[in-house]
């Protein structure tokens, strides 16, 4: 009898240990997922968020989310919000000492609002995850090699478009698309060109401006050049992107997007 009791006590101890370990691992996983802000949203959630936004939010924030000073929900400009969970908290609890009231929406409705905002106010779009801007800047200047071509706040080369104000003019979806598929996202005016003049000079650079009679470019030496088309014997516009799709993983792309959204000029 005593042996049986000891056996049962040992098994209870073993099971308790495994139970505690399992709970600990589960909590660790959940915390990690929350820290990463790894949220995905279905098309149905984005469409639902569009309807909720029009009903509850558009009166104060405007149809495009840009009426409140210092806030542009469509392009991801917030005063204090960084993560998806921050957005949920503000919508649910309110902010600004009562300037924004608490709505107390359900979890599904909160997810829908976040999905619509992260999709850049496009009901048929894709919700974009925004990462940490501090990590994003490190990646931008390092592993991502973005700073090798792009200029920010007066620092960097001019061989690619200046990004100093990119966060004010591009949506999160547009920024992510530019990283993942440069060919589809690059503006025609920024395409690479190759020029051969009547003096047999070959110029390779980035097109800045063009009209019927002239073309202006930044050449490979970062010099601004202007040419009359009548002086050219060859003028080719590259249909290939000046840069390859990023090799960053999805978390790193989210971080770079987060950093780019902070670039809004001086």
Please give the angle made by the CA atoms of 262, 77 and 143, to the nearest 5 degrees: 30
The model's confidence at residue 244, banded by pLDDT at 50, 70 and 90, is low
The model's confidence at residue 64, banded by pLDDT at 50, 70 and 90, is confident
Q: Distance (Å, rounded) from C-alpha 209 to C-alpha 157?
A: 18
Mean pLDDT of 227-254: 81
158 & 252 share domain: yes
Task: Report pTM.
Answer: 0.58
Domain contains 7? no
pLDDT in the model for residue 256: 92
pLDDT in the model for residue 231: 93
Domain contains 1? no
pLDDT at 233 over 90: yes
DSSP string, 7-34: HHHHHHHHHHHHHHHHHHHHHHHHHHHH
pLDDT in the model for residue 123: 75
249 & 173 share domain: yes
Q: Distance (Å, rounded) from C-alpha 118 to C-alpha 247?
A: 23
Q: Are 120 and 53 in contact (CB under 8 A)?
A: no
164 & 197 share domain: no
248 & 149 share domain: yes
Instruction: Give CA separation, 74 vs 46, 102, 170, 243, in Å.
Output: 13, 21, 9, 27
Q: In this predicted structure, which of 86-90, 94-98, 213-217 has the lowest mean pLDDT?
A: 94-98
Final residue of a structural domain among 118, 145, 177? 118
194 & 157 share domain: no
155 & 82 share domain: no
The model's confidence at residue 8, banded by pLDDT at 50, 70 and 90, is very low
Look at the chain and count its residues. Answer: 266
Backbone φ, ψ for residue 133 (5° rounding): -65, -30
Mean pLDDT of 72-93: 83
SS3 category, 216: strand
Q: Distance (Å, rounded) from C-alpha 115 to C-alpha 119?
A: 6
Domain contains 166? yes
pLDDT above 70 coverage of the chain, percent: 80
- CATH classification of the domain holding 100: 1.10.760.10
Domain contains 173? yes
158 & 224 share domain: no
Domain contains 202? yes
Query: What are 102-132's pLDDT values in tens digits?
Result: 888 999 999 899 888 888 887 777 777 788 8
- HSE value, Cβ hemisphere, 13 Å, CA-based, for 95: 13
146 & 103 share domain: no
Query: What are 151-208's pLDDT values in tens digits?
Result: 899 888 887 888 998 887 787 878 888 888 776 666 767 778 889 999 999 998 888 8
Final residue of a structural domain among 118, 143, 161? 118
Query: What are 37-55's pLDDT values in tens digits?
Result: 445 677 788 889 889 999 9
Q: Distance (Å, rounded) from C-alpha 91 to C-alpha 133?
A: 22
57 & 110 share domain: yes
Q: How many domains does the chain have?
A: 3
Mean pLDDT of 71-97: 83
Give the chain's mean pLDDT.
78
Give me the domain span that covers residue 75.
43-118
- CATH classification of the domain holding 202: 2.30.30.100
Q: Distance (Å, rounded) from C-alpha 45 to C-alpha 54?
A: 14
């Amino acid at each position: 009898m005593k042996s049986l009791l000891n056996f049962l006590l040992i098994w209870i101890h073993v099971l308790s240990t495994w139970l505690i370990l399992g709970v600990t691992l589960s909590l660790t996983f959940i915390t990690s997922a929350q820290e990463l802000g790894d949220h995905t949203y279905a098309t149905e959630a984005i469409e639902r968020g569009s309807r909720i936004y029009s009903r509850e939010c558009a009166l104060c924030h405007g149809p495009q989310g840009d009426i409140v000073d210092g806030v542009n929900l469509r392009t991801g400009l917030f005063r204090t919000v960084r993560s998806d969970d921050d957005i949920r908290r503000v919508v649910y609890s309110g902010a600004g000492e009562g300037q924004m009231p608490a709505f107390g929406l359900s979890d599904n409705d909160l997810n829908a609002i976040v999905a619509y905002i992260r999709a850049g106010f496009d009901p048929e779009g894709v919700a974009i995850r925004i990462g940490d801007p501090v990590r994003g800047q490190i990646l931008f200047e390092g592993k991502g090699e973005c700073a090798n071509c792009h200029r920010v706040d007066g620092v960097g080369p001019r061989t690619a478009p200046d990004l100093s104000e990119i966060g004010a003019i591009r949506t999160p979806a547009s920024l992510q698309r530019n990283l993942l598929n440069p060919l589809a996202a690059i503006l025609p005016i920024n395409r690479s060109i190759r020029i051969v003049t009547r003096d047999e000079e070959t110029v390779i650079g980035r097109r800045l401006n063009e009209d019927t009679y002239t073309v202006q470019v930044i050449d490979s030496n970062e010099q601004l050049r202007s040419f009359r088309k009548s002086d050219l014997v060859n003028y080719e516009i590259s249909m290939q992107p000046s840069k390859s799709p990023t090799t960053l993983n999805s978390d790193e792309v989210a971080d770079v997007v987060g950093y780019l959204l902070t670039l809004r000029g001086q």
